[in-house]
Homo-oligomer: A and B are copies of this chain.
Amino acid sequence: MPNIKDVAKKAGVGIATVSRVINDSGYVKKETREKVEKVIMEIEYVPNEIARSMTLQKNKIVAFILPNSTHLFFGELSYFVEQELFEHGYKLMICNSSEQIAKEIIYLEMLKNNRVDAVILLTNNDVESLIDKNRPVVSFDRRFEGVPYVASDNYKGGVMAAEKLLELGCKKFMFIGDDAQGDASSVITEVTNRRVGFNDCLNEHGVSDIVNIEYPLGDYIVSADYVRELMSEYKDVDGIFAISDAAAAAVIEEIELSGKRVPEDVKVIGFDGGRSFLNLGKKISSIGQSPELIAKAICSTILNLCNNKPVYDQIIPVYFFGGDTT
Q: Please give the residue numbers on chain A whose beta carbons come within 8 Å of chain B beta carbons, in ascending order.
A: 1, 46-51, 53-54, 57, 59, 61, 68-72, 75-76, 78-79, 82-83, 86, 91-96, 103, 109-110, 112-115, 245-246, 249, 252-253, 276-282, 284
Most buried by B among A1, A93, A113, A278: A278
- Name the B residues within 8 Å of A113 (CB-CB): 46-49
Q: How many copies does the complex hold?
A: 2
Given A245-B278, A252-B280, A278-B245, A78:B94 Cβ within 8 A: yes
Most buried by B among A70, A72, A86: A70
- Name the B residues within 8 Å of A76 (CB-CB): 70
Chain B residue with Cβ nearest A256:
B280
Given A280-B280, A281-B282, 19 further pairs, Cβ under 8 A:
A49-B110, A50-B57, A68-B79, A69-B69, A70-B72, A70-B75, A70-B79, A71-B277, A72-B278, A82-B95, A83-B96, A91-B95, A92-B93, A246-B278, A249-B280, A253-B280, A278-B279, A278-B284, A279-B281
- Name the B residues within 8 Å of A91 (CB-CB): 93, 95, 110, 115
- Name the B residues within 8 Å of A1 (CB-CB): 112
Most buried by B among A91, A92, A112, A276: A91
- Name the B residues within 8 Å of A53 (CB-CB): 50, 53
- Name the B residues within 8 Å of A48 (CB-CB): 113-114
- Can you list 29 contacts pairing A with B, beta carbon distance less than 8 Å? A1-B112, A46-B113, A48-B113, A49-B110, A50-B53, A50-B54, A50-B57, A50-B115, A51-B114, A54-B54, A69-B69, A70-B72, A70-B75, A70-B79, A71-B277, A72-B278, A82-B96, A91-B95, A93-B93, A93-B94, A252-B280, A253-B280, A276-B276, A276-B277, A276-B278, A277-B278, A278-B279, A279-B281, A280-B281
Smallest CB separation, A296 vs chain B (Å): 16
Is A277 a contact of B72 with CB atoms below 8 Å?
A: yes
Smallest CB separation, A299 vs chain B (Å): 14
- Name the B residues within 8 Å of A59 (CB-CB): 50
In angstroms, Cα B283 to Cα A281, docked, is 9
In angstroms, Cα B70 to Cα A284, docked, is 19
In angstroms, Cα B61 to Cα A79, docked, is 19
Given A93-B61, A245-B278, A279-B280, A114:B50 Cβ within 8 A: yes
Is B49 a contact of A115 with CB atoms below 8 Å?
A: yes
- Name the B residues within 8 Å of A68 (CB-CB): 79
In angstroms, Cα B57 to Cα A51, docked, is 9
Smallest CB separation, A323 vs chain B (Å): 10
Is B281 a contact of A49 with CB atoms below 8 Å?
A: no
